[in-house]
């Protein structure tokens, strides 16, 4: 069955370019971005993995660990990593799972047979420190994902994780945020200060620091 928001992210033990990884132990206490790519030595995947490696400082700042997966072997991933470093200018600095037996791909429903019955699609799972799934995305093989958008969603998730706040359309860090409908006006004033309310249900506040 497909994995839904709020589900526990399935645990697994897998061989990776960083050795054997037991997912829940490896991510202990951190956020994780688990993402699949269809195939090694392909152009779009090369750009995606290079860009993700470039985001390491941004991920570290947010306590996020990245891990990639495809049905190619760890040996293949290691050989391809040299090309990624050469062409994208950054060495791959996160594990890539060698999922030849499709254990992880099947657990996370990353093979969509009507698109391709052997390769993974471009799935993304953002998983919280509580091991619950917070975001799922599925892109086709021919469309590279926007990893800046994934960072933006993580910023929103981390901002709203502890507070009854939400983020509006095209929100970016620094923009005003929205008070959840479950919070009364009095409570909103007390918790977030004054708010701007073009409608009683649309209340903007500055994001708490």
Binding footprint of ligand BEZ on the chain (CB under 6 A): 38-39, 42-45, 141-142
Residue 120 C-beta: closest distance to ligand BEZ, Å? 9
For residue 45, indicate whether it is catalytic. yes
Nearer Cβ to ligand BEZ (139/204): 139
Beta carbons of 126 and 135 less than 8 angstroms apart: yes
Nearest-approach distance from CB 126 to ligand BEZ, in angstroms: 21
Nearer to ligand BEZ, 39 or 152 (CB): 39
Between 17 and 167, whose beta carbon lies closer to ligand BEZ? 17
In the bound complex, what is the minimum distance in angstroms from residue 55's beta carbon to ligand BEZ? Answer: 18
Q: Which of 21, 45, 153, 188 is catalytic?
A: 45
Catalytic residues: 45
């Amino acid at each position: 069955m497909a994995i839904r928001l709020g589900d526990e992210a399935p645990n697994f033990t897998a061989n990776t370019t960083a050795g054997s990884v037991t997912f829940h132990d490896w991510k202990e206490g951190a956020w994780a971005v688990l993402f699949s790519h269809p195939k090694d030595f392909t152009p779009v995947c090369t750009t995606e993995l290079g860009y993700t490696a470039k985001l390491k400082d941004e991920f570290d700042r947010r306590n996020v660990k990245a891990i990639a997966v495809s049905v190619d072997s760890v040996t293949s991933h290691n050989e391809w990593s040299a090309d990624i470093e050469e062409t994208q200018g950054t060495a791959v600095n996160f594990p890539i799972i060698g999922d030849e037996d499709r254990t992880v791909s099947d657990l996370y429903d990353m093979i969509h047979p009507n698109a391709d019955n052997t390769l993974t699609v471009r799935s993304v799972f953002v998983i919280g420190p509580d091991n619950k799934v917070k975001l799922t995305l599925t892109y086709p093989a021919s469309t590279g994902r926007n990893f800046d958008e994934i960072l933006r969603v993580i910023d929103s998730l981390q901002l709203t994780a502890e507070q009854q706040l939400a983020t509006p359309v095209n929100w970016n860090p620094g923009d005003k945020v929205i008070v959840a409908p479950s919070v009364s006006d009095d409570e909103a004033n007390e918790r977030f200060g004054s708010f701007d309310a073009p409608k009683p249900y649309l209340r903007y506040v500055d994001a708490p620091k």
